[in-house]
Structure 1
Amino acid sequence: MTQASGIVSDLNAVIDSREALTTLICALITGAIGLAVSVLRRRRQLSWSVLFDEPINRGPAPPNNLDMWEIHSQGREIEDGSLVVLDVLNSGGQDIDESHVAVPLYFTFPGREVVHFKVRESDDLHNLIQRSADTLPPEDRSRITLPALPLNRRVGFKLLILLVGSGSGVRSGGIIRGGRLVQKVKHSLLYQVAVIGSAMALLIGVSGGVWLANRALNPEAVCAHGSLRIEGSTAFAPVATQVKNAYEQSCPNATITVVANGSGQGLDGLRESKDTSTIAMSDGRPSNQNDEEGLNRRPAGVIVFAVVANQKLQASYPGLFNEGLTTAELRKIFSGQDVTALPVVRSGDSGTRAAFEKAFLGGDSPAPATGVLPDCGTAGAKSPCAAETTMDLLEYVNKTDNAIGYAEADALPFFPNIGTIPIDGHEPIREDALNGTYLFVATEYLYTAGAPAELAANYLEFLTSDPMTAQLRGHGFIGCSDLEDTELAGSCAGG
C-alpha cells in the first residue's frame, strides 16, 4: 500500500510540473496546426484586396493643374473620376474551375459608375474576362460582374477600374461551391496558430521583422522647403507624378510641379533657364549629345514601350495581337511600303520616337516619318500624322481604324479600341525586357543644371531609393536597382 501511494504521489508531481504542462500545450498546438493545414488544403477560397483607390482628374483644369493627365475613355472626358486597382487571388487549397462558381464574382462601387476596366497580369484571363464582360448586360452601372472562370491555386490577376462619381469603398459578392469569397486579411488561420505556438519566444523577432518590413516598404523622404519644376518626357511624367505625390505627402512644405511637354522641350528649357530647381526628364540621351553640355545627367531606370494599334487592324493582319509583327513588317509599315496600316508617330523631339527608331528602324526616320507631318488634331482621317504627347497619339489611334503607333506600356488601360502588338514574338512586359528579348525600351535620364538645389537633390534620392523602386514596379518602369544581373544591367551605367 505504501508503495502504491508513492507511485500516485510521483504521478501527481509529474502532472503538476511545468514539463507536463509544456508537453500538453505542444501536443495541442501540433494538433491544431495539423487540423488547420487539413482544413486549408480542402477549402476553396477566392480572396481580393484593394491595392489602390484614389481620385483623378479633380481640381482646376490644366494648365493650372499639372499633376495628372487628362483622362478620356471612348471620347468622354472623365470628370470627378477615380482609379481603383484590385488584386484577386485563389488563396485556398484547391484549384477553382467554372463548375465551382455558383454565383459569379462581382464588385460594386457605391456612389460611383464604372466607365471601363482592364485585366492585368494574366493574358489568358484578360482575354476571357474582357471578351465575356463585353456581353454582360449593364444591370447596375456601379458593378462589375466577372464570368465564371478557372483559377489555379496561388494564381491571380489584377483589375484596373476607371470610375466616375464621388462615392467611396468597394464591396464584393459571389458564391464558390465548397468554399468562400473573402476580402484579404493580414494573416491566415495557419499563421495565427503558428504565432500562438511560438508565443513570447519570437515576440522580439517578429516585432523587429515587422518594423524592418515597414521601413523597406515605405520610402523615407528627406524634406526640403521650396518649389521644384520637373518637365520633359510624357512617358515618364506619370511616374514622376506618383513620386511627387508621395514626396509631398511626407513633406507638405514642398511644392512640385510636373509638366509633360516632351523630352526635347524639357532639355531645351533647362539649358535656357539654368535653374538648379528644375529637373528635365528625357527618354534616352539626345541625338546630339553636345546638347548635354553644362548639365548633370542621372539615370533613373528603364521605360518599357509598346507598339499599339486600333483593334480593327486585326482584320488586315490576322493574329496581330497574338503572334504580332516582325521588325521587317513594322519597318515596311512605317516606311510607307505597306499602306494597309496607318502609321502615327510622335513629334520630332520625342524621346519615345527616338527609342522606337533605335529599336526597330535602325535609328532612322523613314518616310512617312521624315519631314513635317500634320498634327493628328488636324490631319485627315486616313493621313499619317504626328502627335505631341502620348495621350494625343493614343486618342487618335483609339478612334481611327487601322491606325498603328507606339506609347509607353503603362498608358494603355483605358483605351478600349487599342491592343498591344508583340514584335518578333516578344511582349512589352517586364520579363521580356529584362531578359533582353524585347528591345523597345529606353533609359530614363534626369538632368539638372549643375548641382541640383536641395529639394531637387532630395527628390532624386527619394525617386531612386529601393523602397520607391519597389512601389513603382508594374508601371512600365524598371528602376536602376532592379537591373542588376539582367540583360539591361548596363542601361544605368555611366551616369
Structure 2
Amino acid sequence: MTGFPWQEILAVLGVLIPVVAFVWEFAIVGRKRLGYRIQMDTTPAGLNTEHARAWQRLERKSGERLKHPSFVLVRIENIGSAPINTGDYATPDGDNVGLSVRFRGRTVAGVLVTELSDDNLETFFRKDKWPDSSDEQEEDGHKIGIVKLPKVKLNPDDHYKVLVVLERAGKQEAELAEPEVVGTITKAGDGRISKTRGQTGTPRWAVVLICFLLMVGMTEPFIFGQTLGTGAPLECASGTLVVTGSTAFTPVVEQAAESYQEYCPDARIDTGGMRGSVDGLQRLESEADPEERASTVVFSDGTAGADSPALVPRPKAFMLFSIITNPGTEVHNLSSDDLRRVLRGEVRNWADIGGKDLPVVVVDRESESGTRMTLEERFFESAAQPGENSTDCERPRGDAQGQVLRCRRTSTRAMLDTVAGTPGAIGYSETSAAGERDDVTEVLIDGQAADFRAAEEGAYPYWQTEYAYTYGEPAPESLPAKFLRFLTNQEGADILRHAGHRPCTELRDAVRCRPS
C-alpha cells in the first residue's frame, strides 16, 4: 500500500473537483440566479348569481365589469447563492422595470403584491418606484397583457408574489396560454430567469456527489497521515491569535474565527476586544511584549496613517456605510449639503428640511471609531465634529440648553438601538448592519442608495476600505498570516460577501481596494 500513488491520485482529485465545482457553479448554474413559479392560473367555472356575487363586482379601473376574468399568482425568487442587486437587471439604469410577465390572449385588469419574504422589499413597490404596473401589446392578432415588475434587490432565498387579475381578449381559445416571465440578470451565465418548481427530494446526482466528496474528505487525512506522518491541513496553524479593532467589522471577524477554529482545532482566536479601529491600532502600537505584538491582528476602517510606520496594512474588504434616521423623522433623502448642516447642528428641526416637526438629535460614535472617521473624511474633509452635550440623548448637560442634542455610542449595535429608540435621531452605521433592522431608515444621499456599483462609479460617497494591520510582517507559517490568507482566499471570502462586504479581489482597483 505504501507504494501506491495515493498522493498523486488525491492531488488530481483535488484539482478536478474544484474545477468541476467551479464550472458547475459559475458556467452552468451561476451564482446569480433568478427563478419564477406560476403558483395559480385559474378561471372561474361559472358565475352563479346566488353564490358568486363577489365575482360579479370585479371590474376594471374604468368601471367596466369583467366578463371572463382569470387569476394568476406569480412567485419571483432568488434561487442562486449570491444577492441580486438592482444594478444586476439587464435593463437601462434609468428604467426601473426589471422583469415583465406576458399574458397572451388576456389583458391586465389589476395587480396586487400579496407576499414579501422580507418587509424591506416593500420599498421597491412604492408608487414612486413602481408607477406603471401594467401595459398591453398586440402580436399576430392577439392582445398581450403585460405586468411590469420593478428592479427588486433579492438576497438568497428571498421572494415576492404578485396576484394578477386578467380579462380574456380577442379570440377565445379553448385553453389560456401559459404566462411568460421575461427578464435577464447580467454576469450570470445566460442570465435568463428560469422556471422553477418545488422539490420534494434530493436529486440522485447530488447524493452521489456528496457521498463521493465525503469519502474523499474522510479518506484523505488517514492516507496522508500514513504516508506523510501528519494529518494537519495545509493552511492550519496552532497557537493563539488576538483580533481587535473595528466594531463594524466584528460580525465578519467572529464568523471567520469560528470557521477557522472548526477547520483548525489547534488554533485559538480571541475576538472579544473589538472596541474600535483607533483603539485597536493604539493598543497594538503601544504593546511592549514582542510575543503579544506578533500574535495580534487589528482591523481598521481606513488607514492608520504615516505616523505608525511599524504597523503593516493589508486591504481586505470594501465596505459601505449608511446614514440612518428614526423612521418618525419621515426623511428618506438628504443632499450632501443638508447632511452636513444636520450633523453640524445647524438644522434644529426636521421640518426645516421637509421632514416631520421633530427636534434633531445627532447620535455620534466615539472619536476613535473608524465609522465616524470615515464620515468625517467623506463629508467634512476629516474635520472633527462638535462634542456631545447629552448622555442619554434626551436631556442636555450643563449650558447646552437650546442647542441640538448630541450623544455618543461606543458600538454599531448601540448606535442602531439608540437611533431606533430616539424620536428625531440621526446617526450612521455599516450598511449591512443597518439593512438587518426594520426600525431605522436608511437615508439616500443625493438620491443615491448605498450600493456597491454606485460607490465604484463615484455616485455614492460613504464607503471605506477595511484594512488588517500587523506589527511588522508576520512569519508566513504563523497563525496571523494563515488566518489573513483564509479570510481572503478561502471560506473567509464567502463570509465577507454574506456579511454585505466585497472582497478587494473583486474590485477593478483590487490593489488599493477602492473605486478606480
Which residue of the partner structure matches residue 245 of structure 1? Answer: 258
1:46 equivalenced with 2:75 (yes/no): yes
Query: Is the contact made by 2:254 and 2:271 (CA closer than 8 Å) also made in structure 1?
Result: yes
Which residue of the partner structure matches residue 465 of structure 1? Answer: 489
For the residue of structure 1 that corresponds to 2:405, the secondary structure is coil
Match of 2:381 among 345, 362, 365: 362
Map Cα deviations across residues 398-431 of structure 1 (whole Å, 9 max, x no partner). 0111100101001124433311111122221111
**Residues in 2 aligned to 1:234 and 1:413: alpha-carbon distance in whole angstroms:** 16
**Residues in 2 aligned to 1:159 and 1:98: alpha-carbon distance in whole angstroms:** 30
1:256 deviation in Å?
1.8
Residues 186, 426 of structure 1: alpha-carbon distance in 2 compared, 3 angstrom cutoff: farther
For the residue of structure 2 that corresponds to 1:384, the secondary structure is strand
Which residue of the partner structure matches residue 337 of structure 2? Answer: 328
1:279 equivalenced with 2:293 (yes/no): no
> Any stretches of 5+ residues in structure 2 without a counterpart?
1-36, 42-71, 86-98, 129-146, 166-177, 180-194, 206-211, 217-232, 350-359, 398-403
Greater RCO (CA < 8 Å, at least 6 residues apart): 1
Give the letter for the 1:359 counterpart: R
Which residue of the partner structure matches residue 411 of structure 2? Answer: 389
**Residues in 2 aligned to 1:243 and 1:98: alpha-carbon distance in whole angstroms:** 49
Task: Map 1:344-355 onto structure 2 (within 5 A).
Answer: 344-355=363-374
Query: Is the contact made by 2:365 and 2:415 (CA closer than 8 Å) also made in structure 1?
Result: yes
1:275 deviation in Å?
2.1
Match of 1:294 among 310, 315, 320: 310
Relative to the length of structure 2, the TM-score reads 0.55
Which residue of the partner structure matches residue 49 of structure 2? Answer: none
1:427 equivalenced with 2:449 (yes/no): yes
1:158 equivalenced with 2:155 (yes/no): yes
Which residue of the partner structure matches residue 437 of structure 1? Answer: 459
1:435 deviation in Å?
1.1
Match of 2:329 among 302, 310, 313: 313
**Residues in 2 aligned to 1:181 and 1:102: alpha-carbon distance in whole angstroms:** 22
Q: How large is the Cα RMSD of the aligned pairs?
A: 4.8
For the residue of structure 1 that corresponds to 2:479, the secondary structure is helix
The number of equivalent residue pairs is 341
**Residues in 2 aligned to 1:375 and 1:181: alpha-carbon distance in whole angstroms:** 54
Percent identity, aligned pairs only?
25
Detail structure 1 runs of 4+ shifted over 6 Å in the superposition. 42-45, 49-52, 96-103, 153-156, 172-181, 184-188
Map Cα deviations across residues 1-25 of structure 1 (whole Å, 9 max, x no partner). xxxxxxxxxxxxxxxxxxxxxxxxx
Relative to the length of structure 1, the TM-score reads 0.57
1:359 deviation in Å?
0.9
Which residue of the partner structure matches residue 119 of structure 1? Answer: 120
Give the letter for the 2:124 counterpart: D
**Residues in 1 aligned to 2:410 and 2:151: alpha-carbon distance in whole angstroms:** 43
Residues 95, 185 of structure 1: alpha-carbon distance in 2 compared, 3 angstrom cutoff: farther
Map Cα deviations across residues 291-346 of structure 1 (whole Å, 9 max, x no partner). x23222111122110011011111xxxxx31xx11111111111121111221111
**Residues in 1 aligned to 2:394 and 2:277: alpha-carbon distance in whole angstroms:** 23
Which residue of the partner structure matches residue 428 of structure 2? Answer: 406
Residues 397, 93 of structure 1: alpha-carbon distance in 2 compared, 3 angstrom cutoff: closer
**Residues in 1 aligned to 2:508 and 2:152: alpha-carbon distance in whole angstroms:** 27
Query: Is the contact made by 1:344 and 1:405 (CA closer than 8 Å) also made in structure 2?
Result: yes
Map Cα deviations across residues 363-410 of structure 1 (whole Å, 9 max, x no partner). 212xxx334554457865973101111111111100111100101001
1:436 deviation in Å?
1.4
**Residues in 1 aligned to 2:149 and 2:387: alpha-carbon distance in whole angstroms:** 53
1:51 deviation in Å?
8.3
1:445 deviation in Å?
1.1
Query: Is the contact made by 2:241 and 2:268 (CA closer than 8 Å) also made in structure 1?
Result: yes
Report the structure, 1 or 2, having the larger helix content. 1
Residues 377, 159 of structure 1: alpha-carbon distance in 2 compared, 3 angstrom cutoff: farther
**Residues in 1 aligned to 2:283 and 2:344: alpha-carbon distance in whole angstroms:** 32
For the residue of structure 1 that corresponds to 2:334, the secondary structure is coil
Give the letter for the 1:480 counterpart: C
**Residues in 1 aligned to 2:426 and 2:278: alpha-carbon distance in whole angstroms:** 23
Match of 1:232 among 233, 245, 261: 245
Residues 103, 406 of structure 1: alpha-carbon distance in 2 compared, 3 angstrom cutoff: closer
Query: Is the contact made by 2:377 and 2:383 (CA closer than 8 Å) also made in structure 1?
Result: yes
Residues 155, 489 of structure 1: alpha-carbon distance in 2 compared, 3 angstrom cutoff: same
